[in-house]
Amino acid sequence: MKLTRSTVVVVFLFGLICPAQSSKPVPAGMRHAQQLEQQNERGFPPPDPSRRSVSIAELNTEADQLAQLAASVPKSVQNAGKGVLEKDLLEKLKRIEKLSKHLRNELDR
């Protein structure tokens, strides 16, 4: 009798597990898309930090230029408050904007 009960329990549990696995068939299009994703993931190597379009040395140079330009702005703004507008102040501000945007984009990769 113990053998039959355990057999019934095993068959019952097996019956619960099997329909749960095959209750919802995967559409053919979905299966194809999953296969393509797997092929895609294998086809692309991970990004290599040594393959940057700009070297770290160039980024450091640009960061130094940005720091020098930014340090010169407060004095120019004080002079502008006194009525003396330096002719290159607007160019400095544009250059600061370009350098910071370029650095941000390069470091965000």
User: How many whole angstroms separate alpha carbon 89 and alpha carbon 72?
Assistant: 9
User: How many whole angstroms separate alpha carbon 49 and alpha carbon 97?
Assistant: 25
Alpha-helical runs (H) found in 44-55: none
pLDDT tens digits for range 33-80:
777 777 776 666 655 655 556 788 999 999 999 999 999 999 999 988
**Predicted model pTM:** 0.50
Q: Residue 84: what are its φ and ψ, rounded to 5°?
A: -110, 105
